[in-house]
Chains A and B, each alone.
Chain A
Amino acid sequence: MKILIIEDEEVLRKVLREKFEKEKFTVEVVSDGERALATAKQFAPDLVLLDIMLPKKNGLEVLAALREDPECERMPVIMLSNLGEDEKITRALALGAVDYLVKTQHPINEVVEKVKNYLLKPY
């Protein structure tokens, strides 16, 4: 299974990569919003983990761009953010994110479980 992680914080990128590789995922990471779409098209992941506060292009813009691209429109996207405001969550879900996780509220194992659960669902 392939997972694309879009995250600007280095420690989080490292930890997420390590964890998902341990779980036998093929992992690609991107650290800013601008390169996200091109990488998504090229890498064709089974699922995208997407942060919101990103340099150059924020996560919601990336999500909208993914949804508008014929190659990426059906990729499941889980938002993984530190912003917990209702309006952000509502907007992300309205734009087609399958889930929205506030990072500090979930142990890393739970994040992996959520990802696995969505990958088991046909889309």
Chain B
Amino acid sequence: MATGKKNPLPPRGIEAGTHRPESPQDFVPRIGRGKESAKRTIDALFGLGAVISALAVTSLVLLATGTSPVSAFSNIIAGSIGGKTIQDVLVAWVPLALAAAGLLYTFTAGLWNIGIEGQIVLGGIATTWAMRAMQETGWSPWIILVLAILAGAAGGSLWALLAGILKTFGGVNEIFGGLGLNFVATALNLWLIFGPWKRPGIASMSGTLPFPESMWMPTITPQSRLALIPVALAIIAFIITGLLLSGSYFGLRLKAVGKNPRSSYILGIPTWQHMTGAFALCGALAGIAGAMQVTSVYHRLIPSISSGYGYLALMVAMLASCRVIPSMLVAFFFASLAVGSIQLPIVLKLDSSLAGVIQGTLVLAVVLAEGVKRKFLAKKKAGL
């Protein structure tokens, strides 16, 4: 229903990179880069200003707790990219990057997929279900892993479709539907770990019984936690997403729907199909992120399987203005911050939530700087 006329070509007048500064009520994703060098300089200056003010605010917070900002920051750097922990950064980068890649679809379609956290959980649950069903069949571990990851993608996708259907057919705002579904996903996960899938003997917060070691995703060395396949999958996800969003009719139509669903609908773009499609694709990537956590990091289902990666990925996509390559880099930066702050409680007696404080301050500063820049440009225009 609601398709209107079939229109194989994108409507005229809707092109990549055009955005309407006068409609700031939506978080407008920008795909495509500005060309004029003056604009680029202004962008860079405001970006720099945002980063400096974010660092200044974080330093003030640190000083308020009586810590030297220099020692805190240098500890984070030493604990992340500065040492052997770079492997841990990549381990944290994989789910964050996969989720951020997924969010590029929903943001492009103008949707706030806050339910991504639950979609990662459902990916983990579906993968665990598939692994449990197949681990005693004697099949090749590779076949089992591939099928389990596909199951994870399907699980995440279905959970996202639920939010999508609630939005398109039930009129439930995707933010609230998604949030509710996140809580439900967490409860489902806990129920499985403490109920049907509990360890023989006693159920515990440490999760389900680990899978046989032969079915673990192989890591680069036996001691390392880093497996190459998840990293490769995350990179492939970004390449496909980049190609789809900036090089296909699907991407172009999705952008049109995101910019103005009403006029896209009138122009004959199947609007709700594109919205639910974006949800399904995002959910599939989130589900794969959950599958990676289960198959290559924990080798079992644990209560906090999504570990807040979904919410963090939303911040990544916002900071990168929904552009593909910046999203990859920002995800890496955020993963470094998270890993680098793990040892803060031991070394400096600081809570490791400092990473979240830095990330949040940075995104907030960038959002505010974007607004100041818009005001500044408008004033300059009026002055000319």
A and B from one assembly? no
Please list the residues of chain B having a beta carbon within 8 angstroms of any beta carbon in chain A. none
Please list the residues of chain A having a beta carbon within 8 angstroms of any beta carbon in chain B. none
